[in-house]
Amino acid sequence: MKEVVEYLARNLVDHPDAVRVSERRARGQTVYLVEVDPEDKGRLIGKRGRVIESIRTLVRAFARGRVNVEVR
């Protein structure tokens, strides 16, 4: 699943080499932390958070479980 999050993030930003995805467990769910170049944060989040919400929806559907994606 980490690879899916990384693939989506790398294809949305201008600096794909700066994308780092880490995984942690919190309150019974898996959380993927996506770190990107500061210039790409807005691009990954999108207007009104639509892009990151779309990524979260895709990942939750693919994982069929309690998964969340956060941007740093």
- Cβ contacts of 34-41, under 8 Å, gap ≥ 24: 34/5, 34/6, 34/9, 34/69, 34/70, 34/71, 34/72, 35/72, 36/9, 36/71, 36/72, 37/13, 39/14, 39/15, 40/12, 40/13, 40/14, 40/15, 41/71
Domain tally, the chain: 1
In this predicted structure, what is the pLDDT of residue 52?
97
Amino acid making up residue 15? H
**Given this model, what pLDDT does residue 26 score?**
83
pLDDT of residue 28: 87
CATH code for the domain in which residue 32 is found:
3.30.300.20
Domain that holds residue 25: 2-71
Residue pLDDT, tens place only, 15-29: 999 999 999 998 889
Identify the segments of the chain with pLDDT beneath 50.
Answer: none
58 φ/ψ angles, rounded to the nearest 5 degrees: -60, -45
